[in-house]
Structure 1
């Protein structure tokens, strides 16, 4: 059974009723972020029950020393961990001497939590009776400002319902925090100063080893029934904690509220000696603007994001809630403002995967940001990898590769490989190709070839050199083979000739040659600079062409399909439909040994090749491969359903396409993988967007034009989305009987619809 406590709503994620066993899941689902920082939806007041405390800062990490049973040459020295940062959301609430704690109170009623996606805030309300008989109504609202991305704001209010009471608030900062995810229980933070200045408090700390300096700051104001009051404070202070205690008497029915403004100022963006002054300026801005003023600006900023990124689905509220939740979380994680930042698979919602960057960014996220923001944001994502090229060359050198061969990391914060499972680190080398097809996708969509001579070709050369050296000449096959790899299907390790990896290598080599020739002809000065930097020659380009032409691709004549790897047909080919449901998910029920010998596929692998290089294969070939491989796919990766949804839509298998869409859109909301308490699946959320735009919308670039082949699930009455295509905003609306295309201003645009060319203009919508 999937969880089903989230109430369907088009613009909100809503939970009603308090259940202790779902606290950790809700902390993930109701997470908030602003691209620069983020936090799980922990309660502001004390909670002594089971909880996963988490608050994270973009770009701040710790190199947690690798822990393995047996060290192998080439292992990375550390696994980069996004750090649980000093906590600033806490407000201890005491009523007549008793602490408000939902784990110990007598009763909790009318509990409601809402993540308002339209306006970008988290709200919570409940009524409770304490052990001392006091009945209270509590309401909280908080958000992380998009406008001031070092700032968060909380409005927290308590109303006594059955008597006059004394209420104490202790808003605090705490740097004595630990990570859930740690190899050696290291101390990650060193606290330097705990200071106060009137109503303001500051904790300055730095990370061990990486020496990121962070000033966590807070200031508070108070109201009774909406009127501001002044209160004197007492201070509770330790080496890693500061709390300001404010107490007052409140009559029955009066509402006592605190407005807490707090956040992080880091050496990532400021001189480390000026953090406190910068923090003071941020707090002053907050105090001057006030909670409502900041909230109004937050609503405006989210309205601007939604005006471009929204996808409207008519007639299916669960599908609508799912896609908006995905788009909302992607924007909370990364806004494209800072080329030093990237998109971790869990974003700011948990610690699994270290908060680091994976190949997910290039394979799934780039198209979303390219089409819903602008090409500069996509260029920033590509530039992130260009800036790490030297490190990618170092990564390859550690494994014995030479001459500027580059191996991009599976997992990274700064370009260094920091993943320490050998079957992933050394073998899942297909990630190297994602760096290159991302450049192809960028050039095709934006028409901006300038990135290639400026930066992209050097990345292509490093990657091509890697593939050339990683391929082995087989004298028995008289072809080049690639041995000992893990494909996208991580349920097969150390296999030979994974189709996707071999095909990707072949394509990367050809693409590098094609682009080198184009740059040498059309951008002579750039090419001269690149030749001087890399030593590339025509002889080397010819050697790449030879490897590409003679690349071995395993194929079964009997089944008429490319084989996922050489030994796939040696397995006991029992389909998922014939697998006992009690054995699922196999990654939680089976030994790894049993998984590796099984035919079960974690996510699209051969079909990933048909997705990335679909123009190279016919519709009949796609159908044959989809029908062969999908029945063995267990979809135990969050990245799996979206690719299968797109393929199924292309094949007109709309019931399957819709089922896969719903699974990817509601993967976390319905907790399909039984792991949402660990955090959300942020990067697969971009795949959800693709499954509507590329799947049901049939969006492609063909002959340098936008092309659509829309199809609609039976459950929907219509859907619509927007794309920023070459600085023109194209709106696509699909209903049961027509397609409507329109432009927000600009010149007329020729597009393809079901293979036919039409012209759309800003004057009036074009119906097909």
Structure 2
């Protein structure tokens, strides 16, 4: 059964009532971030119940040594871990000598937590009765600044309501923290120094092995009834900890307030010997703005993001809340300011998957960032892979014995090295190479900016084409090239032969690379000469690629008229999901791996993923046949599955299914469909939620170099709208039951296709069409 405690609201995530059993889930759901750092929604005050502490700094990681029972040649030596960073949010609180701890309070009433997505802040309020019978009312507000992205701010307000009280705020920094997700219980951090002066404190620490230097800092101010009070704090320090204690006598119904500013300076952005001065500088800026000034800037920064990225839905609050939650978390995770960074599947909300880069970025995230940001943001994501090309070549050579510049991009990476420790995924789930090549094509198709390909992208494509040619094997029996021993997107099948999606990508990658070599040779002569001299590519080698591509094998069933997910798929006992006992779900938590591998059940779109990426290569009738065949076997136990199925169901006019899949992808975490939200959110699949509206219901495509729409609307909605930045033009699309309205908010006039008919959209003029796609 799915969870159902988040209150429906258009702009906020709201929890009412305190339940110790859902603390860890809420810590994930109410996470905050600003692209440079993020944190789970841990309480500021001490909490002795079950909790998952987590604060994370973008780009800072640790190479945790791989732990396996049997070491196989080719295993990566480490699995990169996003690090639980030194804690700066903590504020221990004592009231008449008793520590505030919601787990041990006699009573907790009126508990309310809100993540305000419109303005980018997190709040809590509650009334608590402590063991000493003191009753207090508490209100907190916290945010991570988008403007000063090294700093966050907390305001904590306490009111004693049944008598006067002595209240102590003890803000602290603590570097004696550990990761929940660790293989060997290694010590990840080495604390170098703890210092304090006036109301400021600093802990300098570095990561073991990777040697990232950080400074965690804080400064606090206290107020009574809104007026600042000067208290000389008691200072407590040890080797990994520093705290200030601000004690004050507070009368009944007066309010005692602390405003705490904290965060991180990191040697990725500063000289490692000057991290404390950098911290002092950012604290000076934050204090001069004050909590309210910093919060006002936060509201304006988020307003600017929402102006472009918002999707409105009328008549369906849960659907509206779901899409905004997804868009909000994507922007909290990655804003495109730093090309050294990428998007981890959990973002800043948990440690699972190591916080590293997967193929999710290229297949799911790039379309969102292309359409809702400046195109340079998406280009930075492409450049991230170019910068790791040498590591990808080294990966293919060292672990597969491939030669001549063949490149296998890592399944999981922080710095270009492979750091995933499951063989079946690391060296079998090779379709990620194809997703990276597709992203280059997708970027050019959408932006019409070809510059990346001659400058950098062609080298990536050549390395990938070389990989596919060497990875294929000629089968005398089939008189075709086959690709053996792979895992497709459906990870409930390991070590299979001729996965359709993988083979199709391989063929496409080779042909696309050859097409671009030809284009660059004829149109970018100097780039062509430079690249060919660098990669030493001959006509003979290209002919070999072409031979492989032209003779690629695709398993096919004449009986069902469908491409088979892989050889032998029809040998399985084809029992559909609808015939599966619900008590057996999710199968990844109920079944042995052997049982899963022998079943026909599909974790996520696999063959259908190919039909999504290469829609133009297949007819609608072929798509429908494949959808009707494969979807009944799909358990959607990957976060990446519902969005693809929603898009395809909408194309096939299966609107009830499209809507159900949309709700599942948009509320995957809010309703905890997979019963794992306590581990963190599914950030990269959230971009798929955006796609399910824009590409699914909106029907947005690029056809013949022209922006195209086939708008549809679920019966549950009265209307919806979204914006896209298409080739430096901002186009707003508003869809209702009987019409679609287009408004070109900025940029040159734009000709688009609507239901395959050309329509000219003029700048600042509304264009209303009186019907939508049937």
Deviation at 1:72, TM superposition (A): 1.0
Q: Residue 10 of structure 2: SS of its match in structure 1? A: coil
Match of 1:278 in 2: 278
Match of 2:127 in 1: 127
For residues 599 and 411 of structure 1, the distance between their equivalents in structure 2, rounded to whole angstroms, comes to: 27
2:512 counterpart of 1:511: yes
Match of 2:597 in 1: 596
Q: Residue 148 of structure 1: SS of its match in structure 2? A: coil
Match of 1:539 in 2: 540
Deviation at 1:286, TM superposition (A): 1.1
For residues 497 and 698 of structure 2, the distance between their equivalents in structure 1, rounded to whole angstroms, comes to: 37
1:256-655 equivalent positions in 2, closer than 5 A? 256-398=256-398, 399-655=400-656
| Structure 2 contact 62–209 (Cα < 8 Å) conserved | yes
For residues 172 and 89 of structure 1, the distance between their equivalents in structure 2, rounded to whole angstroms, comes to: 8
2:177 counterpart of 1:142: no
Match of 1:112 in 2: 112
Deviation at 1:229, TM superposition (A): 1.0
Q: Residue 6 of structure 2: SS of its match in structure 1? A: coil
For residues 544 and 720 of structure 2, the distance between their equivalents in structure 1, rounded to whole angstroms, comes to: 49
For residues 710 and 128 of structure 1, the distance between their equivalents in structure 2, rounded to whole angstroms, comes to: 51
Q: Please list the CA deviations of residues 230-278 of structure 1 after superposition, one character each: whole Å capped at 9, or x if unmatched.
A: 1111111110000101101000010000000000000011000000000
Match of 1:217 in 2: 217
Q: Residue 658 of structure 2: SS of its match in structure 1? A: helix
Deviation at 1:486, TM superposition (A): 0.3
For residues 237 and 493 of structure 1, the distance between their equivalents in structure 2, rounded to whole angstroms, comes to: 52
For residues 421 and 222 of structure 2, the distance between their equivalents in structure 1, rounded to whole angstroms, comes to: 50
Match of 2:738 in 1: 737
For residues 428 and 407 of structure 1, the distance between their equivalents in structure 2, rounded to whole angstroms, comes to: 11
Q: Please list the CA deviations of residues 162-213 of structure 1 after superposition, one character each: whole Å capped at 9, or x if unmatched.
A: 1111000100000000000000000000000000011100000000000000
For residues 131 and 57 of structure 1, the distance between their equivalents in structure 2, rounded to whole angstroms, comes to: 37
Pairwise CA RMSD of aligned residues? 0.5
Q: Residue 744 of structure 1: SS of its match in structure 2? A: strand
Match of 2:103 in 1: 103
| Structure 2 contact 84–179 (Cα < 8 Å) conserved | yes
Q: Residue 441 of structure 1: SS of its match in structure 2? A: helix
For residues 443 and 548 of structure 1, the distance between their equivalents in structure 2, rounded to whole angstroms, comes to: 23
For residues 455 and 543 of structure 2, the distance between their equivalents in structure 1, rounded to whole angstroms, comes to: 23
Q: Residue 265 of structure 1: SS of its match in structure 2? A: strand
Deviation at 1:536, TM superposition (A): 1.1
Structure 1: runs of 5 or more not aligned: none
For residues 558 and 705 of structure 1, the distance between their equivalents in structure 2, rounded to whole angstroms, comes to: 38
Match of 1:248 in 2: 248
- TM-score, structure 1 as length reference: 1.00
Match of 1:757 in 2: 758
| Structure 2 contact 223–229 (Cα < 8 Å) conserved | yes
Match of 2:710 in 1: 709
For residues 478 and 763 of structure 1, the distance between their equivalents in structure 2, rounded to whole angstroms, comes to: 59
For residues 458 and 764 of structure 1, the distance between their equivalents in structure 2, rounded to whole angstroms, comes to: 43
Q: Residue 248 of structure 1: SS of its match in structure 2? A: strand
| Structure 2 contact 213–267 (Cα < 8 Å) conserved | yes
Q: Residue 644 of structure 1: SS of its match in structure 2? A: helix
| Residues matched between the structures, number | 768
For residues 496 and 19 of structure 1, the distance between their equivalents in structure 2, rounded to whole angstroms, comes to: 49
Deviation at 1:746, TM superposition (A): 2.4
- TM-score, structure 2 as length reference: 0.99
| Structure 2 contact 731–746 (Cα < 8 Å) conserved | no
Match of 2:39 in 1: 39
| Structure 2 contact 358–412 (Cα < 8 Å) conserved | yes
Give 4+ residue runs of structure 1 displaced > 4 Å after superposition: none
| Structure 2 contact 745–764 (Cα < 8 Å) conserved | no
Deviation at 1:745, TM superposition (A): 2.8
Match of 1:54 in 2: 54
Q: Residue 344 of structure 2: SS of its match in structure 1? A: coil
Q: Please list the CA deviations of residues 86-107 of structure 1 after superposition, one character each: whole Å capped at 9, or x if unmatched.
A: 0000000000000000000110
Q: Please list the CA deviations of residues 649-679 of structure 1 after superposition, one character each: whole Å capped at 9, or x if unmatched.
A: 0000000000000000000000000000000
Deviation at 1:747, TM superposition (A): 1.8
For residues 564 and 371 of structure 1, the distance between their equivalents in structure 2, rounded to whole angstroms, comes to: 31
Q: Please list the CA deviations of residues 137-175 of structure 1 after superposition, one character each: whole Å capped at 9, or x if unmatched.
A: 001000000000000000001000011110001000000
Deviation at 1:764, TM superposition (A): 1.6
Which piece of structure 1 moves more, 745-754 or 200-209?
Answer: 745-754
For residues 418 and 747 of structure 2, the distance between their equivalents in structure 1, rounded to whole angstroms, comes to: 45
For residues 441 and 51 of structure 1, the distance between their equivalents in structure 2, rounded to whole angstroms, comes to: 41
Match of 2:26 in 1: 26
Q: Please list the CA deviations of residues 65-119 of structure 1 after superposition, one character each: whole Å capped at 9, or x if unmatched.
A: 0111111111111000000000000000000000000000110000000000000
Structure 2: runs of 5 or more not aligned: 770-774
Deviation at 1:540, TM superposition (A): 1.5
